Structure 1
Amino acid sequence: MAIIGARTLTFQEFRACGAPAFHGERDPIVSRRWLADMANAFRMSFCPEEAKVRYASCLLKDRVRDWWEEISSELGDDAVIIMSWDDLSTRFRLVFAPAIEVQQLAREFLDLHQTTEIVAEITAKFRERALLVL
C-alpha cells in the first residue's frame, strides 16, 4: 500500500486505474504504449513516487519478470527500494525499445507511403511511428 496524504493507495486501486501487465515484448511501440499506460495509471491513482517502481514491477510478467529479477538481484534490495520511476523506465526502454529498433521505425515513418492499405491502416501506422519520432 502507498500513502496519499492521509489516505492509502492499494495495489488493487492502482490496477483499477488501468495499469496493464507487460509480458516482455521487445517492440518499441508496445513498450511505449505500456509506459504511457503506466503514466496514466500513476496520474489517475495519484500514485506517490515511492510506490511507482514497486507497483509497476508487480505488473511485469514472463520474460520481463526475469529481467526485473536480474536487475533487482544486481542492484540489491536497498537500491531497488529507492529506485525512481525514471530510472526504471530508462532501463526498460534500453532493453524493450532498443534505439536501433526505434531508429528503424523512424526510417519507416519517413518512408511511409500508402500502397495497398486502406486509409485507416496507413493512418494507424503513421500515428504509431510518429509517436516514436516526436
Structure 2
Amino acid sequence: MNQGPVRACTYKDFSNARPRTFNGTGGVIALKQWIEKTESVFEICDCPEESKVKFAACTFIDQALSWWNGHVEAMTLPIANAMPWEELKEMMIAEYYPRGEVQKLEQELWNLTVQNSDIDANISRFNELSFLCPGMITSEGNKVERFIRGLTPPIQGNVKASKPETYDNAKRLGKKLYDHRDKKSTKTNEGESKQKGGNKKKWGNK
C-alpha cells in the first residue's frame, strides 16, 4: 500500500521535542550535555543533515548566540546553515573548551586502561574522552585501536585477534570477556573458601 511521501522534519517538530538551550557557559560538561541532547532530538525528529545546523543554532542564547552571529556575519547565513553538523561541533569544542584542558584529556585518553577489571567504568570514560578529543579519534579503525590498547592482557590479545571492524564490536567482546573472567574468578574463590572450610572441619574432628 502506497502511503505517500514521508513528511520532512520541520522546526516545529524539532522545538516540540524540547531541545536544550546553550548559552556558552558551563564548560565542557554543559557543551557535552547540549550536544547529546541535540543529537537525541535529531534522532527523534529524523532531522535531515541539511537542517541540523539551522535548527541547532536556534537554541543558542546569550554568549553563544553572539558567537554564532559573528560567524554568520563573516560567512553569510545560507553558508553557515549549510555547514555539516560535525563541523559545527568541532567549532564549538574549539571555542568553548580551552586547549590546555583538551591536552589534559588527550593525555588521559592516551593512558586510559582498565582498572581493577572494571570494564564498564573504562567504557564510560573512553566514550566521554573520545567525544571530547576528536583529534585523537580520526576514524572508526583508530577508535577500535585506542580502545583495545587500554585493555589488559590476555583480554587485549583476544580482542585484537578477533579483528573487530567497529568500536561497538570491540566493546561488546571486551565486556563479555571481562564478565566471563570475573564470574570464573568468583567461582574459583568460592571453591577455595569451601575447601578451606572443609579442612577446618576435618582438623576439628580429630
TM-score (norm 1): 0.71
CA radius of gyration, larger in: 2
* Cα distance, 1:106–1:82 mapped onto 2, change above 3 Å: closer
Aligned length: 115
Deviation, 1:6, is: 3.3
Q: Distance in 1 between matches of 2:94 and 2:67?
A: 12
Helix, strand or coil at the partner of 1:8 = coil
**Equivalent residue, structure 2, for 1:17:** 17
Identity fraction in percent = 25
Q: Give the whole-Å Cα distance in 1 for the aligned partners of 2:99 and 2:16.
A: 32
Question: Deviations for 1:114-133, whole angstroms, at most 9, x for unmatched residues?
Answer: xxxxxxxxxxxx99966532
Q: 1:89 to 1:69 in 2, by over 3 A?
A: same
Whether contact under 8 Å (1:22, 1:61) holds in the other structure is yes
Distance 1:128 1:31 in 2: 17
Structure 1: how far apart are the matches of 2:6 and 2:95? 37
The correspondence for 1:132, drawn from 123, 128, 135, is 128
The aligned amino acid for 1:46 is D
Structure 1 unaligned regions, length at least 5: 111-125
Q: 1:63 to 1:71 in 2, by over 3 A?
A: same
Pairwise CA distance, 1:31: 0.6
Distance 1:88 1:131 in 2: 20
In the aligned structure 1, how far is the partner of 2:7 from the partner of 2:95? Answer: 35
Normalized per residue, which structure has more strand? 1
Deviation at 1:38, TM superposition (A): 0.9
Moved over 4 A (4+): 104-110, 126-131
Q: CA deviation at 1:19?
A: 1.4
For structure 2, list consecutive stretches of 5 or more residues without a partner in the other structure.
Answer: 112-121, 131-206
CA–CA separation in structure 2 for the residues paired with 1:24 and 1:81: 19
The amino acid that maps onto 2:33 is R
What's the offset of the Cα at 1:107? 7.2
- Aligned partner of 1:100 in structure 2 is 100
- Offset at residue 9 of structure 1 (A): 2.2
CA-CA distance at 1:81 after TM superposition: 3.3
In the superposition, the TM-score normalised over structure 2's length comes to 0.48
Q: Distance in 2 between matches of 1:79 and 1:60?
A: 18
Higher relative CO (Cα under 8 Å, sequence separation at least 6) belongs to 1
Corresponding residue for residue 38 of structure 2: 38
Tell whether 2:51 aligns with 1:57.
no
Assess if the C-alpha contact under 8 Å between 1:106 and 1:132 holds in 2: no
| Amino acid corresponding to residue 54 of structure 1 in structure 2 | K
Task: Output the CA distance in 1 between the equivalents of 2:66 and 2:124.
Answer: 28
Local SS of the residue matching 2:8: strand
Partner SS for 1:91? helix
